[in-house]
Amino acid sequence: MYANRMSQLPPYLFARIDEMKARKIQSGVDVIDLGVGDPDLPTPAHIVESLCESARLTENHHYPSYAGMPGFRKAVADWYRNRFGVVSDPGKEVLALMGSKDGIAHIGEAFVNPGDYVLAASPGYPVYRTGTLFAEGRVHEMPLTAENSFIPLLEDIPKEVARKSKLLFFNYPNNPTSAVVTSGFFEEVVDFCREYDIVAVHDNPYSEIAFDGYRAPSFLSTDGAMEIGVEMHSLSKTYNMTGWRIGMAVGNAEVIAGLGRVKTNVDSGVFNAVQHAAITALSGSQDCVTDACRVYQERRDILVKGLRSLGYEVGAPKATFYVWMAVEDCMSFAARMLEDAGIVVTPGIGFGDGGDGYVRFALTRTKERIGEAIRRMEAIGE
Ligand SMILES: *Cc1c(COP(=O)(O)O)cnc(C)c1O
């Protein structure tokens, strides 16, 4: 019944973990879920209020424009200028997305012919791979290793693969490794993509979730980046708006136009009231973002300190709400954590073979629950 490509879709590991978790809860276990990359904090009240007001207006009840309301695109361009010093034309270089996942899943259809390569990291966000699959392209995996600070080595990509590559996906601050970009990497990407005529796609949804004074850059601030690439960004993680489905692509006008043309044929844009709320989020006070980072940082410190007290070697991430930890066998570690301690962690292999030997903890639960998780780990002799 199903098309061939269905057999290549990953057996979505996260769905399987959800099943195991549901069974545990059903049997009465108080499960602590440190698996989900979804903020537990609410969307800030002024943003919710803005949605409520806009939702009441009939003028917002119709089909939205495909590319996003001019006011939303201008708010994105202004935010990019204020935050990163990136100048963009809201008419041609900004596109509204139904979350950054929307842009990632569909950009391949605009640029990849059957058999072309797409370069993506392993471990990495699974949608780089599935988007490529839908376009009938092939993924060339760039391994991320601790030795390389979880940054791909572009010089390791075989020349014949590079010549047949259409897209390069990269993501810093990184999910799942929580690595931040090292100096010079974005410049290398520009040179590499220029040499091989590849569209650079930087996925940057965690730029605002940062600690200890770290400020994550935009790829678009790199000289020449606007000529060869785009950045996918999102309100999901910055403003706790994962359920609202709104994000943006910013960058090269031709790339934006290609993605926009695909999207015109598959969706009909983002609800105008949600776009109005997004304008409120981007142009209002950013104190809510600072507050959220303070909360995550406190949780990070409790988790990292706790894991170290149990004998694990683990770094304190500068950004993202994840802690990436080396373990002997990620599947058996995750299974043992759920079975014996009622804790959900994500086995690294769910992000590709390069994630084997690691697990990911998400800081999306309260510090009390994270503290409790450490106590349970101690109790089972972890
Ligand atoms: C969360 C996430 C996204 C998708 O977020 P949206 O809600 O679709 O904006 C994209 N990439 C990475 C790496 C993520 O972690």
- Strands 247-251, 94-97: pairing is antiparallel
Closest atom of ligand 1 to 98 CA is 8
* pLDDT at site 8: 83
CATH 1.10.1030.10 applies to domain 45-283: no
Q: Average pLDDT over the chain, rounded to whole? A: 96
Could you say which DSSP state residue 158 is in? -
Dist. CA 142 → ligand 1 center (Å): 19
Q: For residues 73 and 187, what is the distance between their CA atoms, to the nearest angstrom?
A: 27
Q: What is the residue type of 192? A: F
Contact 67, 73 (CB under 8 A): yes
Q: Is 136 left (phi over 0), alpha (psi -120 to 50) or beta?
A: left
Q: Where are the domains of the chain?
A: 4-43+287-379, 45-283
Structure tokens at 158: 């075989």
Q: What percent of the chain has pLDDT over 90?
A: 95
User: Could you give the CA distance from residue 247 to residue 245 in angstroms, rounded to a whole number?
Assistant: 7
**Identical fold, 4-43+287-379 and 45-283:** no
Question: Residues with Cβ within 6 A of ligand 1?
Answer: 37, 99-101, 125, 171, 175, 203, 205, 234, 236, 242, 247
3-state DSSP assignment of residue 99: coil
Cβ neighbour number for residue 66 with a 10 Å cutoff: 16
The gap between the terminal CA atoms of the chain, to the nearest Å, is 46
Which residue blocks in the chain are alpha helix, DSSP H?
13-26, 45-55, 70-84, 100-111, 127-134, 159-163, 185-196, 225-228, 253-264, 272-283, 287-309, 330-341, 367-379
Distance 165 CA to ligand 1 centre (A): 23
**pLDDT per residue as tens digits for the range 186-220:** 999 999 999 999 999 999 999 999 999 999 999 99
Ligand 1 atom closest to the CA of 320, numbered from 1: 15
User: pTM above the 0.75 mark?
Assistant: yes
Residue 92 has pLDDT above 90, yes or no: yes
Q: Of 69, 41, 42, which Cα lies nearest the Cα of 54?
A: 69
128 CA → ligand 1 middle, Å: 11
Three-state DSSP at 231 gives: strand
What type of residue is 374?
A: I
Please report the atom of ligand 1 found closest to the CA of residue 124: 13
Return the CATH number of 4-43+287-379, one of 3.30.390.30, 3.10.310.30, 3.40.605.10, 3.90.1150.10.
Answer: 3.90.1150.10
Task: Work out the burial of residue 4: count CB atoms within 10 Å of its CB; fewer than 13 is exposed, 13-18 middle, 19 or more buried.
Answer: exposed
Top pLDDT among 8 and 84 is at 84
Ligand 1 centre distance from Cα of residue 159 (Å): 30
Q: Ligand 1, from 36, 106, 107, 125: best to mutate by most atoms within 8 Å of Cβ? A: 125
Kindly write down the DSSP assignment for every residue of 25-70, as one continuous string: HHTT---EE----S--SPPPHHHHHHHHHHHT-GGGSSPPPSS--H
